Structure 1
Amino acid sequence: MNDNNKQLKLAFIGGGNNSAVGYVHFAASQLDNKFAVVAGAFSRNPDENSATAQRWGVSEKHLYNDWQELVEQEKNHVDAFVILTPTPHHIEVITTLLKANLPIICEKALVTGPAEVAEIEACYDKNKHFLAVTYNYSGYAMVRELKHLVKQGALGTIQKIHLEMPQEGFRRPPDIAGKPSMPQAWRLKDFEVPTICLDLGVHLHHLSTYLLEMEPTETIAQFTNHSQYPNLIDDVNMLLNYPNNIKGSMWMSKTAIGHRNGLQIRIYGDKGSARWFQLNPDELELNYNDGRREILDRAGQCEYANQFRYNRMKPGHPTGFVEAFSNLYTDIYEELCCYLAGTDKKNDYVFGLEQAKDGLNLFKAAKKSNESRSWEELIK
């Protein structure tokens, strides 16, 4: 196994200064000193590409204007390639890297739908390849505490789970550095799976699977357009059935004015319930059937989130999105070290092709349900 103090080397494909997610990935990968970004083809725009390399301290010798040249020149010098291009471009990069047996860290969504998953499966060998997809919201300390409570039976037998992720970006684009951040062109087109499901829905699917450790079996869904962009799904409501008679729902929206990112989890058992709201990430609201109501935070009686790795700063100084992402990058580091050393260690927080496939199958079934106006079973 690699020395845990040894940095692993990353090459970024995409993720430049003009990217929606690039700087977050860069910052998160650096926070615990596990990775060094040493090479990249950050942007198709040569000026942006060069400016990103300068900002991040990447040598011009390891900067490329073509991602395929980056792969060819750096494949023997880096430990993994990070894919940060728009989702429709992922399939070409992923299949190229898999055929070369090169480790991959990929921004969600993995690809645009089950048809592209099938293309990946044609060249993917789980015993030979490393493929991690970044679902960062399960990196929050109190979401991990919630999973621990569920597994310990603190809420009793789980009966219901409701997840939502309302945003206002299509109706009120967020200001970034004083300028409205308009939707990227690829986000204004739907693919085999609606783009809102690729953007927001895969997070909700991941969180439900992460907490329940099971997949839904069927769904009924309603897709809507409420924005100024015609023929584009921007609001989705779904009901879900899970094994063991567990019921659920998901709501995602790009047109919910007043919500910057209203990610919320509510989970109910026969002994109690829990609520976690991303804009108040260090607190978990708990209610029990004897009438007790508790607010659990990192300074409370946490059994999982009290670990040093989740307390870079003492409670009272809230953790946030980048820290959650960094928690995931540390998990990926541990799994990648095992992979590179040829040892078999499955990290409970690193997810790859199988969960990506399940999520995309869920939203394809939801699309079919919207058309049939009936419940649709999920196909494994």
Structure 2
Amino acid sequence: MSVMIQQNLAKPLRLGVIGGGVNSAVGYAHYVASQLDNKWQIVSGHFSRHPETNLKTAEAWHIPEFKQYPSWKDYVMSEMQGLDAIVVLTPTPQHAEIVSFLLENGIAVICEKALTASVEDSNKIKASLDKSAGFLAVTFNYSGYSMVRELKSRIVNGELGRVLQVQIEMQSDAFINKASKGKPQDWRLKDGPIPTILLDLAVHLHHLVHYVTAKTPIKVLAEFNNFSPYKNIVDDAHLWIEYSEGMRASYWVSKSAYGHKNGLRIRVYGENGSAEWFQEQPDQLMVANEASIVTLYNRGNALNQDKIVERFKPGHPTGFIEAFANLYSDIADNLARYKLNPSQFQFDENVFGWDHAHEGLNLLQTATRSNTEGCWCSLKS
């Protein structure tokens, strides 16, 4: 594939934003990622309840004719005719109301993970999605990394043989680092039907295991812990999961692990070999064969070059924003196809909607029940 992403839209799609003001990390990530390939143009938004933050965001994101609205609903009803989609970047517990409202008003939706905070709220979104036959994409950005896509291709091609087990982890010291400035956002210090750490981190692990193996979780055993000064919340969790076709997986997520900032790592073990990818070395994929001979692959010598998105020549590492931009490019292409034939539309392999997001929430809510009951729990269909 060419170093530059090919533009295949006649003009950029017009994107609105709810939440994600200039003072939030998630807003910055979505803003930059959506702009890299000229497939989206952010034209309006209701970024914050605070007028000053709204104005600062519009200025930072170069929205020339920005209009202030007292609420996100006022914004939507006033600006919806000039938009191709709206991205929802508010705290997770607010997603259900906003996403359902957008779908019921015929607006294509891009929603930051987690889709929502509970299975029950997810089902409410599904009712709105079915009623509207609308477009809903959920952003699980880590599968935008080129070498994660390489890993998926090698598994699909049978290089590792039947996948037996996956070990995956994502940990940080966010809740215990004494040198950090300020405390976590208030909404992240409250747990609902699914602990917030699972909505923050474990949804990514569920997504990546599904993405590379295409297996479905069947039952789960979980253990939750609190090791930080923030009491009455879960800040460390272990999940052991049985998947379809006998595959096993173990998850570890933590915000109380010194020495880590975002220790995302996935190891896949099959009958004929294994593979490992570590986000802090994003352009490397380690593959071991049946003789345990290890080979390191990168974007320059990957076997599946047609799956590699080259934003710059090998040797210059790709990163979080570029991976996110790959996803935004994919979503734009999917939305363009949806607009041509909504009744026959299906997402391609790199974009995910309600079904996938709901499966993850179902897994994590069942894990919460498992932790409470102290036993294996089967997922409800």
> Contact (CA 8 Å) 2:104, 2:132: kept in 1 or not?
no
Q: How does 1:305-324 map to 2 (within 5 A)?
A: 307=308, 310-324=309-323
Whichever residue aligns with residue 111 of structure 1, its letter is T
1:10 and 1:162, CA in 2 relative to 1: closer, same or farther beyond 3 A?
same
Tell me the residue number matched to 2:261: 260
Structure 1 counterpart of 2:89: 84
Code of the aligned partner of 1:82: V
Shift of 1:5: 3.9
Amino acid at match of 1:7: P
Asked if 1:186 is matched to 2:187, the reply is yes
Preserved CA contact (<8 Å) 2:149 2:307: no
Alignment partner, residue 152 of structure 1: 157
Number of residue pairs the alignment of both structures matches? 373
The question of 1:47 aligning with 2:46 is answered no
Q: One-letter code of the match for 1:277?
A: F
Q: Give structure 2 stretches of 5+ with no counterpart.
A: 1-6
Deviations along 1:7-54, one digit per CA (max 9) or x if unpaired, are 000000011111230011000000111100000111111111101101
Deviations 1:49-94 (A, max 9, x none): 1011011111344443421111011111110011001111111111
Contact 1:39 1:63 (8 Å CA) reproduced: no
2:252 corresponds in structure 1 to: 251
**Any idea what SS the aligned residue of 2:82 has?**
coil
In structure 2, what is the Cα distance between the partners aligned to 1:297 and 1:365?
37
- Answering whether residue 369 of structure 2 is matched by residue 368 of structure 1, we say yes
Superposition deviation, residue 291 in structure 1: 3.3
Corresponding residue for 2:3?
A: none
Offset of residue 346 of structure 1:
2.7
Work out the CA distance in 2 between the residues paired with 1:377 and 1:17.
42
The answer as to whether partners of 1:53 and 1:63 remain within 8 angstroms in 2 is no
Which is further off, 222-231 or 116-125? 116-125
Of 25, 30, 39 in structure 2, the residue corresponding to residue 25 of structure 1 is: 30
SS of the residue aligned with 1:323?
Answer: helix
C-alpha root-mean-square deviation of aligned residues, in Å? 1.6
Q: Tell me if structure 2 keeps the 8 A contact 1:163–1:204.
A: yes
Within 5 A, what are the aligned runs for 1:94-109?
Answer: 94-109=99-114
Question: How many angstroms apart in 2 are the aligned matches of 1:126 and 1:3?
Answer: 31
Cα distance in 1, alignment partners of residues 179 and 354 from structure 2? 32
Asked if the contact 1:144–1:304 (Cα under 8 Å) also holds between the matched residues in 2, the reply is no
Name the SS for the 2:349 alignment partner.
Answer: coil
Could you say if the C-alpha distance between residues 312 and 5 of structure 1 is closer, same or farther in structure 2, counting changes exceeding 3 Å? farther
Q: Are the counterparts in 1 of residues 150 and 302 from structure 2 also a CA contact under 8 Å?
A: no
Q: Which residue of 2 aligns with 1:165?
A: 170
Name the CA distance, whole Å, in 1 between partners of 2:119 and 2:283.
35
CA distance in 2, matches of 1:20, 1:318: 21
Aligned partner of 2:18 in structure 1 is 13
- Structure 1 335/306 Cα, relative in aligned 2: closer, same or farther at 3 Å? closer
Q: Secondary structure at the match of 2:124?
A: helix
**Quick one: distance in 2 between partners of 1:302 and 1:119?**
43
Counterpart in the other structure of 1:342: 341
Structure 1 counterpart of 2:217, one-letter code = P
Unmatched 5+ residue regions in structure 1? none
Residue matched to 2:4: none
TM-superposition CA deviations, 1:264-311 (whole Å, max 9, x none)? 00000011000000000000011111232100000113314664xx11
Aligned to 2:210: 209
Q: Which moved more, 1:56-65 or 1:214-223?
A: 56-65
Cα contact 2:147–2:282 (8 A) shared by 1: yes
Q: Which moved more, 1:298-307 or 1:331-340?
A: 298-307
CA contact (8 A) 2:86 2:109 kept: yes
Residues in 2 aligned to 1:232 and 1:192: alpha-carbon distance in whole angstroms? 12
Task: Tell me the percent identity.
Answer: 45
What is the match of residue 80 of structure 2? Answer: 75
Which is further off, 60-69 or 197-206? Answer: 60-69
1:126 to 1:138, Cα distance in 2 relative to 1, 3 A: farther
Q: TM-score, normalised by structure 2?
A: 0.95
What is the TM-score when the length of structure 1 is the normalising length? Answer: 0.95
Structure 1 CA distance for aligned equivalents of residues 307 and 243 of structure 2: 31
